[in-house]
């Protein structure tokens, strides 16, 4: 099983036929646990690299799609 995981095969471990764990390579584990940007960071980085016009989106796209209503009434 370790050789399979090291080779890149995901190995599912079961107990009485029910999946309980997954064995993956250290390389895959490190990739999954790597630093991830928050959405805002990723979006700012994306905008530095690509203009909204370049991808076919208007500059005011985000502002125009946001619902500015106060929402629905809820009784508690």
pLDDT in tens, 7-37: 999 999 999 999 999 999 999 999 898 888 8
What is the rounded CA–CA span in Å between residue 25 and residue 5?
A: 5
CA-CA-CA-CA torsion sign (16, 17, 19, 23): positive
pTM: 0.47
Ramachandran angles phi, psi of 55, nearest 5°: -100, 5
pLDDT at residue 18, as a whole number: 96
**What's the confidence (pLDDT) of residue 10?**
95
Distance, in Å, from the CA atom of 8 to the CA atom of 13, rounded to the nearest integer, reads: 15
């Amino acid at each position: 099983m370790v050789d399979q995981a090291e080779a890149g095969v995901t190995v599912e471990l079961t107990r009485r036929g029910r999946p309980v764990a997954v064995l993956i390579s250290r390389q895959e584990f490190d990739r999954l646990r790597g630093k991830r940007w928050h959405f805002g960071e990723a979006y700012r980085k994306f905008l530095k690299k690509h203009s909204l016009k370049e991808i076919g989106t208007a500059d005011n796209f985000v502002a125009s799609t946001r619902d500015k209503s106060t929402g629905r009434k809820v009784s508690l």
